[in-house]
C-alpha cells in the first residue's frame, strides 16, 4: 500500500525536495581539531573545486579565530572544538553561502561580478548578495 502511494507521487516531489545538511565528522587530536570528511562535505554542497575549498577553510579560520589548513582532504583547525561547534559552523556556512535565500535549495554557485561575490541559484534563478568573506 505504501509502496504504491510512493510510486504514484509525481517525480518532482521526490527530487531532492528537502536538502539534507551534511554532517562534519571531527575529532580532537592534541591541541587541534581535525575535520576528516572535508571532501564529502564539499561534494554534498556542490562546492568541490579549489576556490570553494579555500573559501570554506577561510570561513572556519575566521569563525574559530585559529589557523585552518587543508591536509590530505581534511581540515585541521589550530584549536580544540567540539563536534557540536564544528557542525554549527558548517551549518552557518551552508546557510550563508550555499542555500538560496529565496527557494532554500542548494543548487547555487558563487559568481564574482566587479569584485563583488554573489550567489546565483540554478533552481529558481535568484541572485543574492553574500555578506562578508
Shortest Å distance, C-beta 100 to Zn ion: 3
Q: Single out the residue of 74, 94, 97 nearest to residue 19, CA to CA.
A: 94
How many Cβ atoms sit within 10 Å of the Cβ of residue 24? 22
119 binds Zn ion (CB under 5 A): no
Q: Strand runs (DSSP E) across the chain, as ranges?
A: 26-29, 32-35, 68-71, 74-77, 108-113, 116-121, 127-129
Query: What's the closest the beta carbon of residue 106 comes to Zn ion, in angstroms?
Result: 9
By CB under 5 A, the count of residues binding Zn ion is 7
Give the shortest CB-127-to-Zn ion separation in angstroms: 9
CA–CA dist 61, 79 (Å, integer) = 10
Nearest to 99 by CA among 73, 60, 130: 130
Query: Is 58 or 104 the residue whose CB approaches Zn ion more closely?
Result: 104
Strand arrangement, sheet containing 108-113:
108-113, 116-121, 127-129
Report if residue 118 touches Zn ion, rule: CB under 5 A. Answer: no
Instruction: Verify binding: residue 100, Zn ion, rule CB under 5 A.
Output: yes
Binding status of residue 44 toward Zn ion by CB under 5 A:
no
Taking the complex as a whole, how short is the minimal distance between the CB of residue 55 and Zn ion, in angstroms? Answer: 20
Among 21, 34, 40, 102, interactor with Zn ion by CB under 5 A: 102
Query: Residue 103 interacts with Zn ion (CB under 5 A)?
Result: yes
Which residues form the interface with Zn ion (CB under 5 A)? 100, 102-103, 121, 123-124, 126
Amino acid at each position: 500500500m505504501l509502496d504504491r502511494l510512493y510510486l504514484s507521487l509525481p517525480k518532482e516531489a521526490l527530487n531532492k525536495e528537502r536538502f539534507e545538511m551534511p554532517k562534519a565528522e571531527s575529532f580532537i587530536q592534541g591541541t587541534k581539531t581535525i575535520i576528516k570528511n572535508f571532501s564529502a562535505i564539499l561534494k554534498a554542497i556542490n562546492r568541490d573545486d579549489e576556490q570553494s575549498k579555500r573559501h570554506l577553510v577561510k570561513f572556519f579560520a575566521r569563525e574559530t579565530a585559529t589557523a585552518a589548513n587543508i591536509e590530505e582532504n581534511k581540515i585541521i583547525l589550530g584549536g580544540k572544538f567540539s563536534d557540536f561547534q564544528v557542525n554549527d559552523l558548517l551549518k552557518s556556512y551552508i546557510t550563508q553561502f550555499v542555500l538560496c535565500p529565496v527557494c532554500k535549495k542548494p543548487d547555487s554557485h558563487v559568481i564574482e561580478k566587479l569584485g563583488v561575490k554573489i550567489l546565483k541559484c540554478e533552481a529558481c534563478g535568484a541572485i543574492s548578495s553574500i555578506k562578508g568573506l
